[in-house]
Amino acid sequence: METKALYIHIPFCDHICSYCDFAKVYYREEFVLQYLERLKEELDTLPHHPMETIYIGGGTPSALSLNQLKMLLNSIDPFVGDGTLEYTIEVNPESATLDKLETMHLHGVNRLSVGVQTFDNTLLKRIERYHTSSIAKEVVRNAKAIGFKHISIDLMYGLPGQTLEDVKEDLQIALSLPINHLSYYSLILEEHTRLYDNYEPLDEETEGIWSDYIVETLSRAGFHRYEVSNYALGNHESYHNKVYWHYENYYGVGIGATGKIDDELISHSRSLTDYLQGKNTIYIEKETLEDTMFNHLMMSLRLEEGLDLDEFKRRYHHAIEEVYKEALSKNLDNHNLVIENNHLKTNHTLDLLNSILLDFLPE
C-alpha cells in the first residue's frame, strides 16, 4: 500500500497541562535546536515527494520561536506540493502569534488545529491552561483573516467542576467563530497525570445526556458528526485523521511518534536524550493478519461512514462475513450494525462502539 501521509511530533511545551498524557518535555532552546536538526535527519530518510496529508502535532508546535518554526517548516517543504490536500499544525492560543500564523500559511499550512478546550476562564485555570477565552477567539479570527482554509478547535467536556450550562456556553461561542471543524472530547485521565487524583469523571448517564446535547446542537448548526469525537461543516473533515481511521499507511517522525506501513506498526520511544544522541529509538511490531483486520475494523467503525467492505476484501482477500461470521450476524440481527452502500457501520450507535467491538476481538 502506498504511503501518502506524514506525522511530525514536536514534544516541547511552555508548560505541562494537568490532564496531558502525550509525549512532551519542557521547552529549552538548546534542546529544541538539537531536536530540529535530528528531526531533519530523520525526514531526509523518507522519500522526498509531496504527501497528501501532513500533520504537525505535539506537545505544542507553536511553542517554538519564530526562527525555530521556520527551521521546522523548511525541513518539511520537500514534502509539500500540488498533491498536498491538507497540511495541519496544532497550536495553543497563547503561543500562536500573528507572525507565526503568517509563517505557517506562507509555507503551505492550510489547516489549523487550535487547542481551546473551553472558553471558560475559570475552568481553563483549573486544568492549567495558560490562555484566556479572548486570546483563543483572537487566534481563530486572525487565522481566518490570514487565509487559512480549514480551522478546527478542540473542546473538552467533563472537566472538573464543569456544568452542562458551561458546555452550552462553549458551544455558543464556538459556533460564533469562523471555524469549520470541531473535535469535542470527553475528558479521560491516565493515572500518572497531575489531575488524576483530583478528578471525578462524569457518570455514564450524565455523559450520555451531555454528548447527545453536543451532537444535536452541532447538527442544527450544520456540523455533521463524522467520527466519534469529530464534527465537520460541509466537506471539512480531516483528511489526515481519516488516514488513521481507514487504517492506511503513514510515516511518523520524532519522539513518541507512531507510523504504520502495511502490517508493521512503527513506534518511537519517548526518550528525548536517546533521540538527540542518534540512538535507535524505533521499534517495529509486525501484526498478524487477524490483528490487522481487527484494527482496520475497529478504526473504521469509529467513522459515521463505517468500513468499506470492498476495500476490506481487496486488502485481505477475505469478505467480512468470512472473517467475523458470528459477531457480524449477531450485531446485524440486533441492529447495532447495518450495511449501507457496501459499508459496515454503526446504526446510530457510535457511543456503543466499545461494547460492539468486544464481539469481534481476535481470540
Strand partners, 54: 6, 87
Q: Is the pLDDT at 193 greater than 70, yes or no?
A: no
Residues 316-334, mean pLDDT to the nearest whole number: 96
Task: Say what the pLDDT of residue 199 is.
Answer: 63
CATH 3.30.1330.10 fits 5-244, yes or no: no
Task: Say what the pLDDT of residue 104 is.
Answer: 98
Cα–Cα distance, 344 to 300 (Å, whole number): 9
Intervals of CATH 3.20.20.70 along the chain:
5-244
Q: Helix 29-43 vs helix 66-76: angle between axes, to the nearest 10 degrees?
A: 10
Q: Is the pLDDT at 20 greater than 60, yes or no?
A: no
Cα–Cα distance, 149 to 302 (Å, whole number): 25
Q: Is the pLDDT at 352 greater than 90, yes or no?
A: no
Look at 151-155, 200-204, 280-284 and tell me which has the smallest mean pLDDT: 200-204
Look at 11-15, 68-72, 317-321 and tell me which has the smallest mean pLDDT: 11-15
Q: Is the pLDDT at 286 greater than 50, yes or no?
A: yes
Which amino acid, residue 264?
E
Percent of the chain whose predicted confidence (pLDDT) is above 90: 79
Looking at every residue in the chain, the average pLDDT score rounds to 92
Judge whether 337 and 346 are in contact, CB under 8 Å: yes
Cα–Cα distance, 6 to 77 (Å, whole number): 12
Residues 284-306, mean pLDDT to the nearest whole number: 96
Which amino acid, residue 244?
Y
Q: Indicate the pTM of the whole model.
A: 0.92
Burial class (CB in 10 A: 0-12, 13-18, 19+), 49: exposed
Give the confidence band of 354 by pLDDT, cuts at 50, 70, 90: confident
Look at 16-20, 35-39, 181-185, 233-237 and tell me which has the smallest mean pLDDT: 16-20
Give the confidence band of 13 by pLDDT, cuts at 50, 70, 90: confident
At 21, give phi and psi (nearest 5°). -120, 10
Residues 62-77, mean pLDDT to the nearest whole number: 97
Cα–Cα distance, 314 to 308 (Å, whole number): 10
Residue keyed to cell 487565522 = 143
Q: Is the pLDDT at 18 greater than 60, yes or no?
A: no
Task: Say what the pLDDT of residue 344 is.
Answer: 97
Q: Is the pLDDT at 267 greater than 70, yes or no?
A: yes
